[in-house]
Structure 1
């Protein structure tokens, strides 16, 4: 009985290699890799189920590498998908444009890479496409944020002027250039604008007095000017 158990099953190796090749085929399909090229590199003839130990080990190693690539790409596409979703929200992107990235969205909803079985659903092509879209949307977002920042800055400066305040009162340097992190800069400006509006209410009485004083001074100057002109005219006559 022991002797019989020690005799290797001649059908075991072919079954193992057959399953491995099926696995390789599925991986190539989902990753967008050429299955036939993989077989050629391994020196396996198409439809050939039996192989030596060295080739079998090489096949298993290839499968391990592709499995790792599958997991890495799944994580990458999930991250890209989430980033795209945020950018589309910011830009109010039309649904028809979003549909182009349906495969990327499939990654967000999937719990694991094994749920994705469609051809090229984890291909480098998809990753490149999503990355390119992100770069385009981010550049556009920065341009919009810069415009928003400049608008808020202008609003703050106008409010300060109307309130007879200067930027230094708010510890704001209008000459300081903002080239990045516009959301933070916009947020800071919003806070300052709120603070100035509070100051406007608190200083309303003071502002009115200043404006009345300025008005009186301006009127006084204009009266003096007209009187001096009158004097000159009388004297010249």
Structure 2
């Protein structure tokens, strides 16, 4: 099966990584300091590898797009694996830390991704998920030039959306679409993973939250 991001890696890197700050807002604080390998689930082109290293950990990246992994190789000499985030190719309890960033909108079953992350963590292991805010960033939301956002009553229409009239012609969503979870679905997926939530964050950068992040731990 062809990965949704295949053929877009160079464009994606230039669009979202070229002028981006070295660390996404709040990510280092959510990770905290640590050591050993950190699994980056859905690592894409490796945008967050510097944050993993800055926390004291080493990078293990996994993505379903070989095209994205080729770009990620430019950012690490550590292990990079081609694989499915909902069926991780690792034994139970393989990692002390795992992260997944901006993946909830790109996978068919985000709950399965979270359960797999929990499975491969050791007891006491840290997990961070960081991505689209279900309330204020999704197929139901229109971004206005003055900073306002218009939320349409399609918020409860979950699942895969292939087109919305307000999506930019040159944007990522026109190219691959977008999966949507309600806030309740998102939070329940975290709870059902079996991980214990330690902290919720709406990272800075927008007056209206753009992202939602969670730090959790495996007991």
Shared topology, TM-score over 0.5? no
TM-score range, shorter chain: under 0.3
TM-score, length of structure 2 as denominator length: 0.23
Higher CA-based Rg: 1
**Structure with greater strand share of residues:** 2
Q: Which of the two has greater helix per residue?
A: 1
TM-score (norm 1): 0.22
